């Protein structure tokens, strides 16, 4: 048999087997355990009597000179499994604003950072926990006066307003249900994984509400009713895409180079 033909056949046989061996060595992580820990930090307050106090390891901020006070709080969640790759959402914790009518002379929450830290642990196949990944939401809060001079979107007298200031830094992705925030992707073996976090109720607030909150006209945030406990659920999901390993690309390149060399020799002989 012609030597060039033999080399061509060898390349065409070796490359598929090598590709198969490389693919077999990497397994998709289909199920994850997870732990979400959140806390408030860097909070500021308006002028007035009293101030903002933190409790429950900085998972609750309270303010107001009357009883009951107003507050914001965040819950933690954890599970040994159940976060399925390319599957649905799992609960990431509840953000709660207890919005009570307060005297105008009292100090109120004005801004805060909310940092959520996610730790993933491969459940199937089992593996060691990954390094924690944190996302910080820089938020502004407007404790509105309860004088009837409310924004049009208000349901109560008058709804309070939250806005998120650093949306451009958070990997914002618009969805049919609102907005998600994409965490930095990471690669394990032949797969790249991305976690997406969603906060229920997050929306463009409109120019009137944004102006009232002191934010840009296209701000994103939440509005909360007076005299009510306002719960907003967070949830997250994880996706994966397969990527070739460097070794696979190198083998493929060698195979293609072998085919090209044989063709050049054949052309030269002709």
Dihedral-angle region of residue 82 (phi above 0 means left; psi in -120 to 50 means alpha; beta otherwise): left
Whether 225 and 201 map to the same domain: the answer is yes
CB 67 within 8 A of CB 18: no
Whether 210 and 129 map to the same domain: the answer is yes
Whether 69 and 163 map to the same domain: the answer is yes
CB 106 within 8 A of CB 49: yes
Whether 154 and 234 map to the same domain: the answer is yes
Q: How many CB atoms lie within 10 A of CB 229?
A: 12
pLDDT of residue 147: 78
pLDDT of residue 6: 41
Whether 121 and 207 map to the same domain: the answer is yes
Which residue positions in the chain have pLDDT lower than 70?
1-25, 245-270
pLDDT of residue 217: 84
Measured CA to CA, the distance from residue 144 to residue 151 in angstroms comes to 10
Collapsing DSSP to helix, strand or coil, 261 comes out as helix
Model pLDDT for residues 198-220, shown as the tens digit of each residue: 998 899 998 999 888 888 888 99
pLDDT of residue 172: 87
Please give the residue range of the domain that contains residue 258. Answer: 3-23+247-269
Whether 175 and 210 map to the same domain: the answer is yes
Residue 34 tokens read as: 């997870």
* Domain tally, the chain: 2
Whether 227 and 127 map to the same domain: the answer is yes
Whether 42 and 165 map to the same domain: the answer is yes
Measured CA to CA, the distance from residue 70 to residue 160 in angstroms comes to 11
Give Cα 26 to chain centroid, integer Å.
Answer: 26
């Amino acid at each position: 048999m012609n030597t060039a033909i033999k080399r061509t056949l060898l390349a065409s046989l070796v490359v598929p087997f090598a590709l198969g061996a490389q693919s077999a060595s990497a397994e998709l992580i289909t199920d994850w355990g997870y732990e979400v820990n959140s806390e408030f930090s860097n909070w500021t307050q308006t002028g007035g009597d009293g101030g903002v106090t933190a409790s429950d390891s900085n998972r609750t901020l309270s303010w107001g000179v009357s009883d009951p006070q107003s507050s914001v709080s965040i819950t933690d969640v954890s599970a040994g499994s159940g976060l399925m790759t390319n599957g649905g959402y799992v609960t990431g914790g509840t953000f709660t604003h207890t919005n009570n009518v307060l005297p105008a002379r009292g100090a109120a929450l004005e801004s805060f950072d909310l940092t959520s830290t996610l730790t993933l642990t491969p459940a199937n196949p089992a593996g060691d926990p990954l390094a924690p990944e944190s996302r910080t939401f820089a938020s502004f809060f407007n404790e509105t006066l309860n004088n009837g001079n409310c924004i049009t979107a208000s349901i109560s007298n008058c709804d309070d307003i939250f806005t998120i200031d650093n949306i451009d830094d958070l990997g914002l992705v618009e969805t049919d249900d609102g907005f998600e925030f994409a965490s930095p992707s990471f690669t394990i073996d032949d797969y790249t994984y991305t976690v997406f976090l969603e906060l229920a109720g997050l929306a463009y607030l409109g120019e009137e509400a944004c102006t009232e909150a002191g934010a840009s006209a296209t701000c994103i945030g939440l509005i909360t009713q007076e005299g009510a406990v306002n719960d907003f659920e967070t949830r997250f999901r994880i996706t994966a895409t397969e990527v070739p390993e460097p070794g696979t690309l190198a083998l493929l390149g060698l195979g293609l180079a072998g085919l090209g060399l044989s063709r050049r020799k054949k052309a030269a002989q002709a």
